[in-house]
A and B are shown apart, each in its own frame.
Chain A
Amino acid sequence: MSTSTATRPETSVEKKSGGFTAAASNYLDERTSISAVVKEFGRKVFPDHWSFLLGEVALYSFVVILLSGTFLTFFFQASMAEVHYDGSYVPLKGVEMSAAMASTLDISFDIRGGLLMRQIHHWAALLFVASIGLHMMRIFFTGAFRKPRELNWVIGFVLFILAMAEGFTGYSLPDDLLSGNGLRIIDGMIKGIPLVGTWISFLLFGGEFPGTAIVGRLYTLHILLLPALVLLFIALHLVFVVVHKHTQFSGPGKTQQNVVGYPVLPVYAAKAGGFFFIVFGVIVLLATFFTINPIWNYGPYDPSPVSAGTQPDWYIGFADGALRLIPPHLEFVLFDRTWSFNILIPLGALGLFIVLAMIYPFIEAWVTGDKREHHILDRPRNAATRTAIGAAGLTFYAGLWAAASSDIIATHFKLTMEGVIHALQFVVIAGPFIAYFITKRICLALQKKDREIVLHGYESGRIIRLPGGEYIEKHEPIDEYQRWKLVSYHDYKPLMIRPNSRGKISVGQRARAALSRWFFEDRIAPPTRGEIEASHHHEDHVEIESSHQNH
């Protein structure tokens, strides 16, 4: 303990000779210049907020995925060679299946801790995608994607897509009934692509579906190519987090020029390091008590049987749901070729949705024309239009996602299949508009309320009787720290169209002005000092008057 040694005289001697730690540090530094890294990052400040943990959850669950996945590779055989199962799971004894399925059963039933590892891997994968999704929502709704972080939003988005690809390829590896069925759906979708679809499917499966190649190929993607890409993009993502420094919520003393929080060493390291173990622990807890993907119940892949209510992992649901919501007969033969719009429309709609979400930061930057850096996060209510757009996007996604369970919804709630599909078609098409409208109203109402509180204080619960006999509730002013949180946000005005130097108004300018009007026309400005003073004067006045009369 440093405090006790400090009192002892030999401390200085010890320091000089150095002790083991000092000697080791010295050895390392003379070979790596590591002290510069510690100097640079050791006291780097990170702001604190629960929502900043979502990205960490994603990172940590990926580490867990790497660890558990590597264990699985030692036992898993990515081969579709036919074998007769001869392991411990009696109901499947003697059944013909691929080596992939048989080795997955062996991991589950014949290797100690194997089932636990499989379940850790699968639960971690589900948590990984879920946390990325929530993390993205946090970034979106707080405007953390604004300059200079637009590119990091795109990188994060790529990670989201890679994560889903990792999940899908992994889900397909055990070659059980559900994974084969999922592949069959992908095969059918690919075949529906004009011009190249038939051949892409033929090449992907190495011949006709299912063939004997697909598991091996997906395995290469799953454990080599995709993880390498995920690692690369995570590295890039984090480099930019360091370059930009973390955003912070607005609050007293927090400015665009500083970061207020805790230093890496020791507090942040303890909290973040500890949090890794908590995430890992929770995943193991799930894997201990909750079965996931019991492939032994499904049996090996066979194109013939399938039971009702089978579903992909949750994060693929939105794509499956999109396929379900298409009305019949949207396919025709033209010029001697088949045009499968029942597949192209959902593919196109999802593609458009993803692209729009990916480029949203650039759209918003263009609309506001704001070229400044933004390091202070928005409270969602203070960017009402953006928040409403986000709510609309989420509603669209949720509608598609629910559609992937349309059969379960129908049987569970005793509704007709047709009724559920029509309702969800409505949700996906009209829902976003409704969600947009409601969210926008709520945001504006909350902003008005904030404004009210800043100008007139909060309701104290104390009722006073005015001289005229009427009752009012006494409002207490808020302190300047609380007030700052409510007033410190950016306010934008709709863009006015101005002719350019040649006296013309370009189409782009018109579009921008229209979007800008849509974004900001019903904005609520933060109260200014003048307004606050004026309102206080007014209140003092009332106060004085009423106290006069009370005498």
Chain B
Amino acid sequence: MAQDGTSGTELAAAGDHDEAHAVSPGTAVVSSDAVRDPGLPPHRLRVTDTNPKKAKTAERAVYTLFYLSLAGSIFAVAAYMAFPIVPEDLLSVRLNNMFIGIGMTLALLGIGIGAVHWGKALMADHEAIDIRHPVRGTDETRARAVEIFDEANQESGFGRRSLIRNTLIGSLIAFPLPAVVLFRGLAPEGEDPVELLSHTMWEAGTRLARDPDGTPIKASDVTIGSVFHVIPENLPGSEHMLEEKTKAIVLLMRLKPEDLVEEESRKDWSYNGIVAYSKVCTHVGCPVALYEQQTHHLLCPCHQSQFDVANHAAVIFGPAARPLPQLPIAVDDEGYLVAQSDFREPVGPSFWERH
């Protein structure tokens, strides 16, 4: 009944305080037969209001809590001095933490619980009533506000002098632009992120070395079923170590040659069942650190993408879309594993310009 086109009488029955500005109750049903508000129930006294003994107990509790708080503060200061940190002694750190903490906790909770208890049990608890006023300004105020804007408009000619207004708006829009340009300086100039993302430290002949100590790996050390965390031999001590490492980390695994399914074009990228794959997840870049020997699956701990090493690290589960890039490897004269070249595609997470 009380649809949008509600009649005036129904609105009045809404009884809300916007009487002067009958606002629409929308699709609310305004019943003239609604139950009436019985008004505030009678006030109930607390035990502390009626029993002076209880009031006394409450009072005692409150100041005892405040005393306790005082003691806590002093305790914390004392603990700071009594439990210094002894270099290389973890226990001293723990004790320092614990005793200062206990003191502070007491100091704070003493004040807090004391004050709340005071408020609840002892302070007058007569409910008070404030009257609300509609949030909108009164009609006079609103009229005056409109008038002020009108006057300002007249006096400045903001509406009339349209060219002044429009050029001002234009220049206000334009003036932050230099600040946007300035942010170009956040990254070094003369470098192209796409170029950087497309290459790693690996080159023809770079030896595969153990992460993190950098000792090179002999092909003969790699037994079937084993897995090595690998970095380029020249990584430790290099410039931009972390940035290079982020891209260059590799996992090396040896499978039984008969387990390995290899594409014709990539047959010579492996050596004797030893394969090397980028360790950077093609999802958003976590290290794919978990290898399951039985199934030849690699698992990324971040979002559980799984890659099948036996099948060119193809994605078998999880949000990643692309296989891990393979590093073509060979063996040098001394029997060490080396890269044949850099990766043939960018490693790590996808980016817009990648194709």
Contacts and interface: CB of A to CB of B under 8 A. Distances in A.
Given A113-B80, A372-B16, A481-B41, A185 B285 contact: yes
A381 interface: no
A324 B303 contact: yes
B123 interface: yes
Contacts of A275: 112, 116
Interface string A153-180: 0000000000000000000000000000
A277 to B, nearest CB: 3
Nearest to A194: B352
Interface residues of A, number: 140
Contacts of A491: 28-29, 31
Interface string B292-319: 0000000101111110000000011111
Which of the listed residues B104, B184, B249, B315 has the most CB atoms from chain A within 10 Å of its own CB?
B104
Nearest to B81: A112
A44 interface: yes
Contacts of B1: 493
B109 interface: yes
B96 interface: yes
A336 to B, nearest CB: 5
B36 interface: yes
Contacts of B101: 116, 284-285, 287-289
A459 interface: no
B129 interface: yes
Interface of A is mostly: mixed
Interface in A453-493: 480-481, 483-484, 487-488, 490-493
Nearest to B33: A528
Interface stretch (A6-14, A251-259, A382-390, A435-443): A251-259
B246 A208 contact: yes
Contacts of A255: 37
Interface in B237-284: 240, 242-243, 245-247, 249, 279-281, 283-284
B177 interface: no
Nearest to B96: A112
A257 B105 contact: no
A530 B32 CA distance: 10
B170 interface: no
A493 B186 contact: no
A15 interface: no
A142 interface: no
A148 B350 contact: no
B4 interface: yes
B221 interface: no
A58 to B, nearest CB: 17
Nearest to B354: A338
Contacts of A303: 242, 245-246, 249, 280, 287
A525 interface: yes
Interface string A307-346: 1111000000000100111111111110011101011000
B109 to A, nearest CB: 4
A421 interface: yes
A495 to B, nearest CB: 5
B191 interface: yes
A260 B127 contact: yes
B29 A323 contact: no
A310 B322 CA distance: 23
Contact of A304 (B287, B290, B355): B287
Given A198-B351, A337-B352, A480-B38, A257 B119 contact: no
B44 to A, nearest CB: 12
A328 B34 CA distance: 58
Given A203-B183, A323-B284, A259 B249 contact: no
15 contacts: A45-B129, A119-B97, A191-B351, A192-B351, A202-B193, A210-B246, A211-B243, A263-B128, A270-B116, A274-B113, A274-B116, A284-B101, A320-B303, A343-B284, A369-B27
Given A90-B88, A369-B26, 11 more contacts: A113-B80, A253-B40, A260-B128, A274-B111, A274-B116, A278-B112, A304-B211, A306-B287, A369-B27, A495-B3, A498-B4
